[in-house]
């Protein structure tokens, strides 16, 4: 029987932490790929040496090319550059689009049946790069951002109300970052909308803090950005796909008419199972929510239009 194989491209903070979680969660054998020679191999060896202590039987190997990634079930894409001083958002988009295109082309060429899980920023636009170069159907490309954004909102609300994070469920739509559209009326504590539990002013402040995304963490760390919570978000999505759990999770997906939007990547709730993105969970938005989602989608589309036309194909 073929063993489950997960490729993680980029062995930096998010990639290595993701590999760690995937192996310890026994989700499959992991191939960690990075351009830096020796680095993915060294981190893989370190992870393997933890196996006897933490009890898992997954293999973890490091590589600088894609040979060992062949026949992967999932490709998690975390490679990319962080914004450097003097670099505009558009410069970063251009640089990461080239990295994502090159990596996804090579990885998808040897794993034609895989599902791509995009993590690299700018998230929604990088999903489009993966779509163009892989030629995969939309069911087999999803972006991770919504799980992280909702986790942040849930964590803040649980602390505010002094309840378990498990009792809080939240819904965030839209593009990643400043563009997210939190839906407080669907954000509940054991089924009770937070709008019944907290004054609007407090909800607004918590939503605003969530919308700052990882900015608060970047300021504290000074070098680098969040990776524990992002890796946890990736883990939840990979687990739902590989174990066919059919969880409803907010993911960046290529909309085809759902929520009145088409040909654009936006975060909406979807069912994740063995076939990948098995369906968008559509529901009726208020006029205000719809307008905010459309604005968020419009911003992503404007960025998608700036992508170079010569990204290549797998």
By annotation, the residues acting in catalysis are: 176
Whether residue 292 has a cis bond before it, omega within 30° of 0: no
Please state the closest distance from residue 250 (CB atom) to ligand TXD, in A: 11
Instruction: Tell me which DSSP letter residue 248 carries.
Output: E
Number of chain positions touching ligand TXD (CB under 6 A): 31
173 near ligand TXD, rule: CB under 6 A:
no
180 near ligand TXD, rule: CB under 6 A:
no
Query: Quick one: which of 15, 184, 250, 276 contacts ligand TXD (CB under 6 A)?
Result: 15
State how far the Cα of 182 lies from the Cα of 176, in Å rounded to an integer: 11
Residue number with the shortest CB distance to ligand TXD? 12
In 3D space, the residue among 12, 10, 300, 269 whose CA is nearest the CA of residue 175 turns out to be 300
The pair of structure tokens assigned to 263 is: 């040909």
State how far the Cα of 138 lies from the Cα of 117, in Å rounded to an integer: 11
Please state the closest distance from residue 227 (CB atom) to ligand TXD, in A: 5
Query: Quick one: which of 135, 137, 224, 257 contacts ligand TXD (CB under 6 A)?
Result: 224
| Number of Cα atoms under 13 Å in the Cβ half of residue 9 | 28
142 near ligand TXD, rule: CB under 6 A:
no
Q: How far is CA 77 from CA 12, 29, 59, 312, in A?
A: 11, 16, 19, 17
Query: Quick one: which of 3, 36, 54, 159 contacts ligand TXD (CB under 6 A)?
Result: 36
Query: Quick one: which of 66, 136, 156, 227 contacts ligand TXD (CB under 6 A)?
Result: 227
Residue 133 has φ and ψ, to the nearest 5°, of: -85, -25
**Which secondary structure element, helix H or strand E, spans residue 221, and what is its range?**
helix 215-221
Which parts of 25-82 fold into alpha helices (H)? 39-54
231 near ligand TXD, rule: CB under 6 A:
no
10 near ligand TXD, rule: CB under 6 A:
yes
Segment near ligand TXD (CB under 6 A); pick from 29-37, 65-73, 109-117, 259-267 = 29-37
Query: Quick one: which of 11, 30, 170, 198 contacts ligand TXD (CB under 6 A)?
Result: 11
Please state the closest distance from residue 2 (CB atom) to ligand TXD, in A: 25
76 near ligand TXD, rule: CB under 6 A:
no
State how far the Cα of 13 lies from the Cα of 218, in Å rounded to an integer: 13
At residue 8, the 3 state secondary structure works out as: strand
127 near ligand TXD, rule: CB under 6 A:
no
**Which secondary structure element, helix H or strand E, spans residue 297, and what is its range?**
helix 287-304
Task: Tell me which residues touch ligand TXD (CB under 6 A).
Answer: 9-15, 33-36, 78-80, 82, 99, 102-103, 119-121, 123, 144-145, 148, 176, 224-227, 230
């Amino acid at each position: 029987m073929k063993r489950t194989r997960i490729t993680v491209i980029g062995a930096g903070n998010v990639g290595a932490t993701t590999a760690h979680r995937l192996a310890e969660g026994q989700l499959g054998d992991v191939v960690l790929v990075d351009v830096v020679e020796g680095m993915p191999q060294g981190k893989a060896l370190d992870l393997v040496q933890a196996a006897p202590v933490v009890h898992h039987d997954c293999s973890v190997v490091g590589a600088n090319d894609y040979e060992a990634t062949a026949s992967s079930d999932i490709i998690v894409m975390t490679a990319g550059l962080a914004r450097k001083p003097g670099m505009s958002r558009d410069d970063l988009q251009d640089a990461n689009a080239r990295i994502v295109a090159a990596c996804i082309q090579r990885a998808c060429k040897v794993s034609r049946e895989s599902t791509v899980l995009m993590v690299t920023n700018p998230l929604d636009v990088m999903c489009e790069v993966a779509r163009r170069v892989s030629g995969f159907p939309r069911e087999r490309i999803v972006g991770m951002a919504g799980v992280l954004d909702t986790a942040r909102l849930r964590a803040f609300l649980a602390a505010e109300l002094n309840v378990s994070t498990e009792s809080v469920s939240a819904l965030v739509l839209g593009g990643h970052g400043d563009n997210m559209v939190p839906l407080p009326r669907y954000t509940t504590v054991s089924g009770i909308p937070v709008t019944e539990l907290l004054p609007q002013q407090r909800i607004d402040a918590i939503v605003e803090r969530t919308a700052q995304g990882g900015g608060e963490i970047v300021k504290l760390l000074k070098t680098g950005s969040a990776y524990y919570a992002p890796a946890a978000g990736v883990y939840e999505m990979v687990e739902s796909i590989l174990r066919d759990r059919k969880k409803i999770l907010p993911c960046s997906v290529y909309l085809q008419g759902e929520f009145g939007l088409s040909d654009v990547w936006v975060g909406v709730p979807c069912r994740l199972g063995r076939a990948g993105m098995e369906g968008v969970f559509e529901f009726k938005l208020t006029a205000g929510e719809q307008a905010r989602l459309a604005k968020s989608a419009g911003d992503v589309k404007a960025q998608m239009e700036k992508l170079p036309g010569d990204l290549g194909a797998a």
